[in-house]
């Protein structure tokens, strides 16, 4: 997109101090930010229990509120909790040979 700039979905090796970072940026359209909050959370979802998850707080500069998201090493997204209590969880994993 014209005027869009690249961002970071997840730092390669997050470590304290955790600084906010841009996930995507296009002025007045996409101004998404995130900040790593923890590196060792355990999360249980329908797909299983995942340990040593990275927990992030994610928000848009264009909207109120933020979401909490957990990512597991080798899997990616595991769970998201939005401001009004909406929850998205990983239901299953299919390994492709």
pTM metric for this prediction? 0.88
Whole-angstrom Cα distance, residue 81 to residue 88? 7
Yes or no: say if 42 and 31 are a contact pair by the CB < 8 Å rule: no
Dump pLDDT digits (tens) for 6-52. Answer: 888 888 898 888 999 999 899 888 899 999 999 999 999 999 999 99
pLDDT at residue 1 is higher than 70: no
pLDDT of residue 37: 96
> Average pLDDT of 69-76?
95
Whole-angstrom Cα distance, residue 31 to residue 53? 25
Q: For the chain, what percent of residues have pLDDT higher than 90?
A: 65
């Amino acid at each position: 997109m014209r005027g869009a700039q690249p961002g970071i979905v997840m730092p390669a090796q997050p470590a304290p101090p955790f600084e906010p970072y841009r996930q995507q940026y296009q002025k007045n359209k996409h101004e998404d930010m995130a900040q790593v909050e923890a590196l060792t959370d355990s999360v249980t979802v329908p797909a299983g229990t995942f340990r040593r998850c990275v927990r992030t707080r994610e928000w848009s500069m264009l909207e109120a509120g933020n979401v909490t998201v957990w990512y597991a090493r080798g899997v990616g997204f595991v769970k998201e909790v939005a401001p009004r209590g909406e929850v998205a969880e990983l239901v299953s994993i299919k390994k492709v040979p």
